[in-house]
Amino acid sequence: MDQRCGPILYEVQKNDTLESIAAQFFTSVEEIIQANHLRTTTLNKSMKLSIQDCSSTPSAMAQTVTTTFTPLLDPTTLTPVNSPTQ
């Protein structure tokens, strides 16, 4: 999976918290505060935050990958040639 990091501009939504935003973008509250020079942890709707996004897939759209292994050959029982039979 290709993972690229880069800053994005995130618009704060109703009921967003620094904790919920940090979890969504796999970062920390402290990193968001530092990147945006915040003096308070209070967020206002429509506020724009610069966030370093290093997620390969946004958490709201994350998908589970399932791997299934299929044998190439059927299991067989080998009998050695010239083996004594009882």
CATH of residue 38: 3.10.350.10
Q: Which domain holds residue 34?
A: 6-54
Whether the per-residue pLDDT at 69 is higher than 70: the answer is no
In-domain check, residue 78: no
In-domain check, residue 46: yes
Q: Angle CA(9)–CA(14)–CA(17) in degrees, nearest 5?
A: 70
- Number of domains forming the structure of the chain: 1
Quote the CA–CA distance of 56 and 76 in Å, as a whole number. 43
pTM (predicted TM-score): 0.57
Query: CB-side exposure of 2: number of CA atoms within 13 Å?
Result: 1
In-domain check, residue 80: no
Please tell me the predicted confidence (pLDDT) of residue 6.
82
Please tell me the predicted confidence (pLDDT) of residue 51.
93
In-domain check, residue 28: yes
